[in-house]
Amino acid sequence: MYVVILAGGGGTRLWPLSRPESPKPFLPLLDTRSLLQRTVDRVRDHAGLEIATPDVTVVTDRRYWNLVRAQCPGIRVIAEPAGRNTAAAIALATILVERPDDEVMVVLPADQTIEREEVFRGVLVKAASLAEGAFEIEAPLVTLGIQVDRAATEYGYLVPRVDDGATIDRLQAYPLRAFEEKPTRDRAEALRREPGVAWNAGMFLWRRRTIREALERFTGLITLLAPVVHSESGLDAAYDQLRPISIDHAVMEGAASDRRVVMAAMDVGWSDLGSWSALLGAIGASGIGHVVPANEPAEAHAADLVIERVDGRLVVTAGPRGILAATPTALLRSAAGDREAVEALVDRVRRWEESS
């Protein structure tokens, strides 16, 4: 088993902490370790998982090569000419990471957090067995689903063929019926009530041969990229032809229709820290936060906090005050009572920026 970690850009819902030059995966949001470093730590050098430094590869935009090298010494880095979403990143890793065709590749996002890490590692071991064959599928594509606890509209959903499910080595698994993109509120409520439905966390396991064959069947990515992966100019030209597309749209939806996808469900204390509200909860602060776009007016009340950049430097201020800034600003409603925790977060990121 080997691991491919996808460390892309984005993080726009956490502006102004996250910026194009320093996206969410590279920030020390929860402690002094970045989310990327925590992801590597989560899977490397643990008894039973048998993942060592040579078994981990990070795929990132070429702009972040130096960030990855600095944060993860010794880890192999694959640099994309530009971010083209997860399908291209996985295709590039499938070609360049030379492992036996029957070995299981684990694909993980770099910007998520997991509370019960030992349980998660156990899920990976068991799910790797599923990737070698389950439900009379010789070599399925395995996706890991997160137990649903609310009607979330910010996540995609995995809809299993629940009547065909089984508990395999104490892991609840199902053949997958369909992927559903971020739903409306009413649809999210309906999905929450359906047995077995899970959030799509963007975590996958498959044999190297299996994902290569799926990419060849459903996309032209292998044909386009394989001849040019060792030529910087050739890879640049190939990426110029690509439109961004997720692995879900490019491969998994079609593979689910062909009954080639298996879902394993897990409850491991997962969060994608995909919003200010989620990040506030993760650092033990109350409040609901959102990003105020540049040049859009807003009003902070007495119980609110504002995070903004002044001359490029992160600062925290309290309401009441008006907001009208030339750059995106975070407005944290009802967070003033936990200002110390918010200040500590901002201070971690500010010190990291100053030392980078």
**Residue extents of the structural domains in the chain:** 2-271, 276-355
DSSP, collapsed to helix, strand or coil, labels residue 194 as coil
Mean pLDDT computed over 161-176: 94
Contact 95, 59 (CB under 8 A): no
- Residue 356: pLDDT band by 50, 70, 90 thresholds? confident
Express each pLDDT in 20-40 by its tens digit. Answer: 999 999 999 999 999 999 999
With tokens 């200010």, the residue in question is 276
Closest listed residue to residue 213, CA positions, set 264, 245, 254, 158: 254
What kind and span of H or E run contains 125?
helix 117-131
Pick the CATH number of 2-271 from 2.60.120.1090, 2.40.50.140, 3.30.465.10, 3.90.550.10: 3.90.550.10
Closest listed residue to residue 56, CA positions, set 91, 15, 7: 7
Mean pLDDT computed over 154-161: 94
Express each pLDDT in 182-239 by its tens digit. Answer: 899 999 999 999 999 999 999 999 999 999 999 999 999 999 999 999 999 999 999 9
Query: Does the pLDDT value for residue 117 go beyond 90?
Result: yes
DSSP letter at 24? G
User: Cα(142)–Cα(127) distance, rounded to whole angstroms?
Assistant: 7
Query: Does the pLDDT value for residue 66 go beyond 80?
Result: yes
- pLDDT number for residue 183: 92
Mean pLDDT computed over 96-121: 97
Express each pLDDT in 319-345 by its tens digit. Answer: 999 999 999 999 999 999 999 999 999
Query: Does the pLDDT value for residue 9 go beyond 80?
Result: no
How many other C-beta atoms lie within 10 A of the C-beta of residue 166? 11
- pLDDT number for residue 315: 97
Q: Tokens standing for 25?
A: 């995966």
pTM of the model: 0.96
**DSSP letters along 43-74, please?**
HSS-TTT---GGGEEEEEEGGGHHHHHHHSTT
- pLDDT number for residue 169: 87
Residue-averaged pLDDT of the chain: 96
- Residue 295: pLDDT band by 50, 70, 90 thresholds? very high
DSSP, collapsed to helix, strand or coil, labels residue 146 as strand
- The number of angstroms, rounded, from the C-alpha of 294 to the middle of its chain's C-alpha atoms is 26
Closest listed residue to residue 158, CA positions, set 142, 135, 170, 140: 142
- pLDDT number for residue 11: 74
- pLDDT number for residue 40: 98
Query: Does the pLDDT value for residue 89 go beyond 80?
Result: yes
Mean pLDDT computed over 298-309: 98
Mean pLDDT computed over 85-98: 98
